[in-house]
Amino acid sequence: MATIPPISRRAFGAGLAGTGALVATGGLARPAIAASRVTLKLGHLANEQDPWHKASLKFAEEVAARTKGAIEVKVFPNEQLGKETDLIKGVQLGTVDFTITGETLQNWAPAAALLAVPYAIRDIAHLDKVVGGPVGAAINQNIEQKTGLLPLAYFARGPRELTSNRPIKTPGELNGLKLRVPPVPLFVKVWEALGAKPTPMAFSEVFTSLQNSTIDAQENPLALIRSASFFEVQKYVNRTDHVISWIYLVGGSKKLARLSAEEQKAIREAAEVARGYERGLFLASEASLETELKAKGMTFIEVDRAAFAAKAREAVNTALPAEVKPLYEQMLATM
């Protein structure tokens, strides 16, 4: 059975929890004490109220403290530096230094499809075991090899839910629903199998497209449903819980390798602090999101999850690249 090889020595130790510093792979490492301040840019798609943004600010704060001001990380939310695909390409080119991204990386790295596979992750405890174990290490290595982006920390995401302006309880009720999905091939194929008409679209275009009825529905975690104010243009949250996933804070591996060992260590430690900080924000937010969205007029609908899961898994088995199916099976078997 073919598997993706274990994480490389260039990565941050053993997976995201590793203790080793990055090894410089190109150019000369900068001295431990910088002669002048270096400014690095972190761009992401969420707004200022989102836990991702707050965790990004925490990361920037920790980097500054741990390098005694030698490295400054400037944070740009709301797609100020570009849409998600633009940000990925920006990190690859060196025009952006860090971003927060997830399953969109599968357009370059096949294993990144596993970050958001419908009905694969059971709960947050299962997610932590998967990401912190051999499956997560293999995904990290595939991402770095194929994209040049190095995962520094991961953030758990709440279950993705389907929002719409009519209640949907079974896959049969999708009836050609025009549904926005991120530009991810697996998502397109799964929603087609479920009976919807998926439309790949940048996140920043979703609100206006819902408002103008260009699309009828979208799917995202409750945190993004709230922060993007989708409650203003969607009435129902259909509790499909179709994806429990994670997302990465990533940096450009070549850019990071040019830093001194001490600076690399500081960035790794800052990312780990940001991960813990974000987890606290995430758990607190998840506990209140349903109440907040109901107060803003949204109605929550319980769906036939077993029916959704059965159809989705059929599509997953045909849509996943053959090279990552062994990892998918390991993910399902992780206890």
pLDDT recorded at residue 35: 52
pTM, whole model, 2 decimals? 0.77
pLDDT in tens, 75-97: 999 999 999 999 999 999 999 99
Return the structure tokens found at 106: 């599968």
Return the structure tokens found at 154: 């991961």
Backbone CA torsion sign across 276, 277, 282, 288: positive
pLDDT in tens, 86-130: 999 999 999 999 999 998 898 899 999 999 899 999 999 999 999
| Residue located via tokens 């990552």 | 324
How far, in Å, CA of 235 to CA of 213, rounded?
A: 13
Backbone CA torsion sign across 122, 128, 131, 133: negative
Q: Which fold has domain 15-157+246-287?
A: D-Maltodextrin-Binding Protein; domain 2 (3.40.190)
pLDDT in tens, 4-20: 333 333 334 334 443 33
CA distances for 40 relative to 101, 113, 252, 279, angstroms: 17, 28, 11, 24
DSSP 26-41: SSPPPPSS-SS-EEEE
Mean pLDDT of 64-81: 96
Strand partners for 23 = none
Return the structure tokens found at 36: 């002048």
Phi, psi of 216 (to 5 degrees): -105, -20
Give the helix/strand (H/E) hosting 152.
strand 149-156
pLDDT recorded at residue 31: 44
Phi, psi of 79 (to 5 degrees): 55, 30
Answer whether residue 53 shows pLDDT above 90.
yes
Task: Say if 15-157+246-287 and 160-244+290-322 have the same CATH topology.
Answer: yes
Give the helix/strand (H/E) hosting 253.
helix 253-257
How far, in Å, CA of 158 to CA of 153, rounded?
A: 17
* Confidence band, pLDDT 50/70/90 cuts, at residue 37: confident
Hey, what amino acid is at 83? K
Nearest to 199 by CA among 92, 325, 212, 87: 212
Length of the chain (residues) = 335
* Confidence band, pLDDT 50/70/90 cuts, at residue 27: very low
How far, in Å, CA of 63 to CA of 70, rounded?
A: 9
| Contact partners, residue 38, CB within 8 Å, separation at least 6 | 30, 70, 71, 72
The structural domains of the chain, with segments of one domain joined by +, span 15-157+246-287, 160-244+290-322
Alpha-carbon dihedral angle through residues 139, 18, 155, 122, given to the nearest 10 degrees: 60
Backbone CA torsion sign across 190, 127, 62, 97: negative
Q: From the DSSP assignment, how many helices (H) and strands (E) are in the chain?
A: 11, 11
Could you give the 3-state DSSP secondary structure of residue 295?
helix
CATH code of 160-244+290-322, in short, is 3.40.190.170
* Count of beta carbons in the 10 Å neighbourhood of residue 272: 18
